[in-house]
């Protein structure tokens, strides 16, 4: 039905897709999986007309095609259900379903009676009973997603692309969704299904395509692939592969002792985290393992006060910290290096100097005036110590390379003398040299007595960098690996383990 | 992934736009001055310079506050009404002496700023909307206090409005001092740096633990106080309180001065020098057209064109 | 009056979704929709008891006519605000429309009507193009247009010193002066425009696009709504409404008064928002704007009747009203997001 061959898409500095073949067949649910940066979102965007491919061919219904806009793809019969519902929340269900193709009566006015009747019929045919007159936002997220699906189907879609449709659904809603997907299948519609939830993939998908680093690594029937094999394909680790240490710059174990410097207990955020507990002792690096969407970043954010938990406690060095407040967490000595460095970390328009001094400013000021001499001293110290490559302290941070931006952020937090460092993907998107330096730095910091929580999609980094690994799945802790158990093999098994539907 | 893109040398077009945004205003002022020297009779005279400077002072002071608001990725539309409030308060409290009157007026401005700042920072109302509501209400309050034009006869106010020190009018001295003060605040204080960080990237500032709400409220208080000072000075110069018309369209002039001066509407950057030059540029433009017997209506049209061009240039550059 | 969009019946049982929250939700929606109307009725009731002069034919007629011009401006503004935009140029366009109509009336009624519509519509179109195509902030663009329109007005009236008069016997003057069934023609025109506007916003495909663009611009684009064209259309429409209101006003006053319209944009925005339209866009209704205008004018009238009160209280009241409504909207909006 829809197929692409040797598709290549390059962005400045990175090849997002590299000669990828992919085919969606009628009446088949095709899983598309891969970790962050694997290229699956780029592939979807090419399929749905958001991006134009640099090389390669898209064939749809037997003819080579090229979609200039998402709208063109939609008109051709390719509909997309996004993770975030892309409808108009303030408008009624029926109006959303029929926007742009409302049934019209005399004088070109919209025939609401007919529109409501048809909307009702369309939803019923998917097994849904929703009052189509209600504003969309009054429905639950699941029901909203169903409306999006109904819209997609009712525009005569022949291919439906679903991008993590279940990420915010209740289990009951997931069941309904799967029912609808099966119905689509019976109607001969091709479904492309993107998700990180293994259980779902095995339940609803027929075939699977795995992408990694922009390349196709596997495609075939999902039933022929066991879970462990699937996870290792995604993460790029061969089960048989036994590596010696030394690829990363981690030294190995740290002397960790004493009372925990961080004790986070039973952090719960509706739909996101379920009683996640993590302890860090001074000098210890604890890894958070799990697939994308398993709640790793959310755990770090909840500890750092950036994501208010519904329940749970955070204790630093014996003292309770008010949850849900970033300043309180920072005062207690918790520092978070966020995953989205560009949007949440650096302040791109300000200089290296201002960025480093940002959090520590009140401490570097007297009567509200910044003590520039002290700022200069601290900035100089950190530029030297972290070997930040910049044309000078007054260069804009936005102009630095990713690795150096990351070091600037580290410097910002180290200037605060934290007790606990939460590092969310500290080496993602930075070049090899800088990566090694950041890794060595993490080691050093732990040796100096900091408690470090390390989140990384890089298996090697996680295994070699951590003394312990806490494994998350669907927002809950499913395993904790300690001592000799901190191996890739164990980690893969823990991630691939069946069950654990915690929603 | 986009590291390379960021390190890539900026395209020539972008560099041109950048230069235009950063230094265009100075070039514009220079060109206007040179053209006037060449073509306008009696342009080069102490009297003329004095007139121009005195006229630009209130606009500049309001623009300084506006620059703070815009730097925080906001805007303050209530400034004109705050000027009207200040003029009403001054004439009501002048009986207690000019200093008391000045302080009361500034407190009034601070109160308005506190109100808009709280709406923005705590309740999360968009800056345009919050300050728009206050713009309506505050003008009304000013008119309730002082329903019609009233002459201000006070020796202190008269000195303030038309006196000078070593030949430089007080108004100009005060405006210059405030410009230096705001420049100093932006560059050297914790508040200034936190303000720029918030304007540039609010999520990052929040995650870095900055007191975002407090800083935002303070921004609008500053803007309110500066607008109140401008209102008092305008009253002193006109020797009259006219809450009906004082400060009308002032928000537009101030925004124009700030934007033309190279401060982007997207926040994170404040150019105090550019704002001064921007205010001067608008004043010169008006003066030039008037001196050449072109009707004042042309200056309004010219100002409209200038502001759209300035915003457009900043936008094109911001696209990257 | 315009019950065209009496809210769709929401009584049918819903299988989905929780109950306390949904009920609170519906109550708040109800408050937003009918709060202004209830307030209006209360104010009218109190005023009729309080002042003998309130419920007199003359006073009502006076209020109706003076509401009519603002109402037409608010009609266009409603479309703009529902798309999530704002139009600050309407006050100037109102004045400009009046002057152009008065000047044009010497060449006959068609010129007197078409000239202001053409010029104001064109300025609205330019606003729309700058906002939708060049993607500049609406408040800056329309603020500049406000200035430019005022400049044009001054330059065609010798810097405001010339006032064009309308021949009192002309058909154009009668448009503003005559009465039909005891009610002024401008009032009838306004009512007709509101019925038309309500039908367009509520029952036409364009109206759906207006809501969709304001409700979620990205989603609207993905669903195939012509986002840019919709925005250009609403700013043009707003310009046309302001120009027409100015022309009618000139016919009523039999002259093109140059100093009119200052602050009118704020009055119009206040009326629209008080009438229940969300300033953030995506939700609103035409009849609400009419109620908002009436409420503002009735309050103004009451304040005028209380001799000791200055008319400036009008601004305090409408400003505070605006602030309260905006706070309530932001609040409700935030609670909704959290649901």
Provide the CA C54 distance to its chain's centre, in angstroms. 24
Q: Is pLDDT larger for residue A46 or for residue C261?
A: A46
Please state, for a pLDDT cut of 90, what percent of chain A lies above it. Answer: 11
**For B159-176, what is each residue's pLDDT tens digit?**
888 888 887 888 999 999
The answer to whether the CB of B82 falls within 8 A of the CB of B138 is yes
- Neighbours, chain A (3 or more CB pairs < 8 A): B, C
pTM score: 0.81
Instruction: Specify the pLDDT at position B5.
Output: 39
Residue B58: predicted pLDDT = 92
CB contact under 8 A, A347 and B200: yes
Q: Which residues of B touch A393 (CB under 8 A)?
A: none
Strand partners, A29: A191
Residue A503: pLDDT above 50? Answer: no
| CATH fit for domain B44-319, picks 3.40.50, 1.10.150, 1.25.40, 1.10.3470 | 1.10.3470
What integer pLDDT is reported at residue C1 of this predicted model? 37
Residues C160-185 pLDDT 10s: 777 787 777 777 777 777 777 777 88
B190, B200, B206 member nearest A326 (Cβ): B206
Inter-chain contact C17–A151, Cβ cutoff 8 Å?
no
Min Cα–Cα distance to chain B from A328, Å: 8
The burial of B133, by beta-carbon neighbours within 10 Å (0-12 exposed, 13-18 middle, 19 or more buried), is given as buried
Partner residue facing B1 (CB), from A14, A368, A399: A14
- In this prediction, residues C84-88 reach a mean pLDDT of 91
**Across-strand partners of A280?**
A262
Strand A420-424 to A334-337 pairing: parallel
**Per-residue pLDDT tens for A144-167?**
888 888 888 777 788 998 888 877
B268-287 average pLDDT score: 89
CB contact under 8 A, C319 and B137: yes
Cβ-nearest to C330 among B123, B144, B305? B123
Among C15, C199, C216, select the one facing A129 at the smallest CB separation: C15
Interchain proximity A131–C203, CB inside 8 Å:
no
Nearest to B190 among A306, A326, A365 (CB): A365
CB B269 within 8 A of CB B196: yes
CATH of domain A2-225: 3.40.50.300
What is the mean predicted confidence (pLDDT) over A350-378? 88
State how far residue C122 is from chain A, nearest Cα, in angstroms.
27
Domain holding C231, by residue range, is: 34-338
Query: Cα–Cα distance between A412 and B261 in angstroms, integer?
Result: 32
Alpha carbon distance C144, C151 (integer Å):
10
Whether C144 sits inside 8 A of B130 (CB atoms) is no
Residues 6+ apart with CB under 8 A from C40: C291, C294, C295, C298
B272 — pLDDT class (breaks 50, 70, 90)? very high
A343: number of Cβ within 10 Å: 13
Nearest chain B residue to C319 by CA distance is B137
In a domain, C11, yes or no: no
Residue C26 has a pLDDT of 66
Please, which pLDDT band fits residue C7 given cuts at 50, 70 and 90?
very low
The complex's ipTM works out to 0.80
Q: For B30-80, what is each residue's pLDDT tens digit?
A: 888 888 788 777 777 777 888 888 889 999 999 999 999 999 999 999 999
Say if strands A78-81 and A159-163 run parallel, antiparallel, or are unpaired.
parallel
**Rounded to whole angstroms, how far apart are CA atoms A138 and A160?**
25
> How many structural domains compose chain C?
1
Closest CA to B249 of B62, B106, B68: B62
Rounded to 5 degrees, what are φ and ψ at A139? -85, 160
The CATH code of domain A262-333+418-496 reads 3.40.50.300
Give the sign of the dihedral formed by CA A110, CA A113, CA A117, CA A120: positive
B181 contacts on A by Cβ (under 8 Å): none
- Residue A202: in which H helix or E strand, if any? helix A198-204
> How many residues does this entry show for chain C?
339
Residues of chain A positioned with their CB less than 8 A from the CB of C195: none
Q: Where are the beta strands (DSSP E) in A164-299?
A: 190-194, 207-212, 215-221, 262-269, 273-280, 285-289
Contacts of C29 in chain A (CB under 8 A): 135
Q: Is residue C17 part of a domain?
A: no
Give the CATH number, domain containing residue C81: 1.10.3470
Nearest partner of A6 among A15, A19, A17, A16, judged by Cα: A19
Domain ranges (residues) in chain A:
2-225, 262-333+418-496
Q: What is the pLDDT of residue A499?
A: 57
Is a pLDDT exceeding 60 seen at residue A233?
Answer: yes
The ranges assigned to domains in chain B are 44-319
Q: State how far residue B216 is from chain A, nearest Cα, in angstroms.
A: 16
């Amino acid at each position: 039905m829809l197929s692409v061959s040797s598709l290549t898409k390059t962005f400045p500095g990175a090849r997002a897709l590299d000669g990828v073949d992919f085919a969606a067949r009628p009446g088949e649910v095709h899983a598309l999986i891969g970790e962050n940066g694997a290229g699956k979102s780029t592939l979807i965007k090419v399929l749905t007309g958001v991006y134009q491919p640099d090389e390669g061919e898209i064939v749809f219904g037997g003819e080579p095609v090229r979609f200039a806009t998402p709208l063109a793809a939609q008109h051709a019969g390719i509909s997309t259900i996004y993770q975030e519902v892309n409808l108009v929340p303030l408008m009624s269900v029926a109006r959303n379903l029929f926007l742009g193709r409302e049934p019209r009566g005399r004088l070109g006015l919209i025939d609401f009676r007919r529109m409501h009747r048809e909307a009702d019929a369309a939803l019923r045919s998917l097994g849904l009973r929703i009052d189509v007159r209600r504003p969309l936002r009054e429905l639950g997220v699941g029901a909203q997603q169903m409306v999006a699906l109904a819209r997609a189907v009712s525009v005569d879609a022949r291919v439906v692309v679903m991008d993590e449709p279940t990420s915010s659904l209740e289990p009951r809603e997931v069941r309904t969704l799967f029912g609808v997907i099966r119905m689509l299948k019976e109607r001969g519609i091709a479904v492309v299904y993107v998700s990180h939830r293994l259980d779902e993939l095995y339940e609803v998908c027929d075939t699977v395509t795995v992408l990694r680093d922009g390349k196709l690594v596997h495609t075939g029937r999902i039933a022929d692939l066991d879970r462990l094999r699937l996870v290792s394909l995604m993460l790029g680790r061969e089960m048989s592969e036994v590596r010696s240490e030394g690829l990363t710059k981690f030294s190995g174990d740290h002397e960790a002792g004493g009372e925990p410097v961080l004790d986070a207990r039973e952090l719960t955020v509706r739909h996101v985290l379920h009683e996640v507990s993590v302890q860090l002792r001074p000098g210890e690096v604890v890894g958070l393992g799990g697939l994308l969407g398993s709640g790793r970043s959310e755990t770090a954010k909840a500890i750092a006060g950036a994501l208010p938990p519904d329940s749970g406690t955070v204790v630093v060095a014996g003292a309770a910290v008010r949850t849900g407040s970033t300043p309180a967490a920072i005062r207690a000595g918790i520092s978070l290096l966020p995953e989205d460095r560009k949007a949440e970390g650096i302040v791109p328009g300000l200089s290296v100097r201002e960025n480093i001094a940002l959090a520590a400013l009140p401490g570097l000021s007297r009567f509200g005036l910044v003590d520039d001499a002290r700022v200069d001293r601290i900035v100089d110290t950190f530029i030297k110590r972290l070997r930040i490559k910049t044309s000078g302290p007054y260069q804009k941070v936005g102009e630095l390379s990713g690795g150096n931006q990351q070091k600037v952020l580290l410097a910002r937090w180290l200037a605060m003398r934290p007790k606990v460092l939460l590092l969310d993907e500290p080496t993602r998107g930075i070049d090899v040299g800088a990566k090694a330096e950041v890794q060595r730095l993490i080691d050093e910091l732990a040796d100096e007595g900091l408690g470090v929580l390390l989140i990384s999609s890089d298996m090697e980094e996680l295994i070699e960098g951590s003394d312990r690994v806490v494994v998350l799945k669907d927002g809950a802790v499913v395993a904790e690996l300690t001592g000799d158990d901190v191996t890739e093999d164990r980690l893969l098994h823990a991630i691939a383990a069946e069950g654990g539907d915690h929603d | 992934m986009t590291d390379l893109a960021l390190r890539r040398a900026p395209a020539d077009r972008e560099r041109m736009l950048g230069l235009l945004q950063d230094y265009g205003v100075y070039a514009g002022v220079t060109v206007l001055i040179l053209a006037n020297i060449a073509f306008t009779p009696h342009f080069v005279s102490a009297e003329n310079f004095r007139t121009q400077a005195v006229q630009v002072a209130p606009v500049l002071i309001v623009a300084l506050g506006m620059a703070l608001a815009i730097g925080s990725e906001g805007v303050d539309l209530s400034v004109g009404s705050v000027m009207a409030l200040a003029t009403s308060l001054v004439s009501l409290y002048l009986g207690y002496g000019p200093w008391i009157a000045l302080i009361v007026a500034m407190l009034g401005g601070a109160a308005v700023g506190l109100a808009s700042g709280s709406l923005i920072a705590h309740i999360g109302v968009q800056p345009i909307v919050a300050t728009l509501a206050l713009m309506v209400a505050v003008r009304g309050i000013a008119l309730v206090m002082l329903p019609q034009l009233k002459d201000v006869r006070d020796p202190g106010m008269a000195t303030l409005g038309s006196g000078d020190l070593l030949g430089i009018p007080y108004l100009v001295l005060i405006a210059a001092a405030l410009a230096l003060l705001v420049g100093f605040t932006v560059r050297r204080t914790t508040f200034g740096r936190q303000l720029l960080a918030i304007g540039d990237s609010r999520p990052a500032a929040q995650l870095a633990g900055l007191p975002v709400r407090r800083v935002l409220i303070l921004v609008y208080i500053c803007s309110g106080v500066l607008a109140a000072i401008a209102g008092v000075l305008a009253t002193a110069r006109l020797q009259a309180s006219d809450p009906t018309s004082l400060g009308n369209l002032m928000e537009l002039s101030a925004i124009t001065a700030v934007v033309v001066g190279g401060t982007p509407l997207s926040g994170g950057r404040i150019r105090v020098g550019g704002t001064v030059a921007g205010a001067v540029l608008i004043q010169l433009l008006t003066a030039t057209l008037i001196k050449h017997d072109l009707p004042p209506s042309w200056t309004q049209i010219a100002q409209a064109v200038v502001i759209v061009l300035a915003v457009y240039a900043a936008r094109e550059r911001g696209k990257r | 009056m315009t019950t065209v969009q009496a809210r769709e019946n929401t009584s049918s049982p819903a299988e989905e979704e929780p109950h306390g929250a949904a009920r609170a939700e519906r109550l708040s929606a109800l408050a937003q929709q009918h709060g202004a109307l209830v307030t209006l009725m209360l104010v009218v009731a109190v005023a009729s008891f309080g002042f003998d002069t309130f419920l007199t034919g003359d006073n009502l007629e006076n209020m109706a006519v003076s509401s009519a011009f603002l109402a037409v401006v608010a009609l266009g503004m409603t479309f703009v605000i529902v798309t999530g935009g704002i139009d600050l140029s309407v006050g100037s366009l109102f004045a400009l429309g009046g002057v152009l109509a008065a000047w044009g009336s010497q060449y006959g009624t068609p010129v007197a009507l078409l000239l202001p519509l053409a010029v104001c519509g064109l300025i609205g179109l330019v606003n729309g193009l700058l906002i939708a195509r060049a993607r500049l902030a609406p408040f800056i663009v329309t603020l500049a247009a406000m200035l430019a329109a005022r400049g044009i007005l001054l330059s065609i009236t010798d810097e405001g010193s010339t006032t064009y008069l309308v021949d009192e016997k002309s058909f154009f003057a009668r448009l503003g002066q005559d009465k039909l069934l005891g009610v002024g023609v401008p009032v009838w025109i306004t009512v007709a425009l509101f019925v038309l506007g309500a039908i367009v916003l509520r029952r036409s495909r364009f109206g759906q696009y207006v809501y969709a663009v304001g409700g979620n611009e990205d989603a609207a684009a993905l669903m195939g709504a012509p986002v840019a064209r919709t925005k250009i259309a609403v700013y043009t429409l707003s310009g046309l409404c302001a120009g027409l209101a100015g022309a009618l006003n000139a016919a009523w006053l039999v002259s093109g008064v140059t100093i009119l319209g200052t602050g009118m944009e704020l009055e119009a925005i206040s009326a629209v928002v008080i009438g229940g339209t969300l300033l953030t866009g995506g939700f609103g209704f035409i009849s609400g704007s009419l109620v908002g205008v009436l409420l503002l004018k009735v309050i103004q009238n009451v304040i005028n009747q209380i001799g000791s009160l200055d008319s400036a209280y009008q601004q305090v009241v409408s400003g505070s009203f605006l602030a309260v409504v905006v706070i309530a909207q932001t609040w409700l909006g935030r609670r909704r997001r959290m649901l």
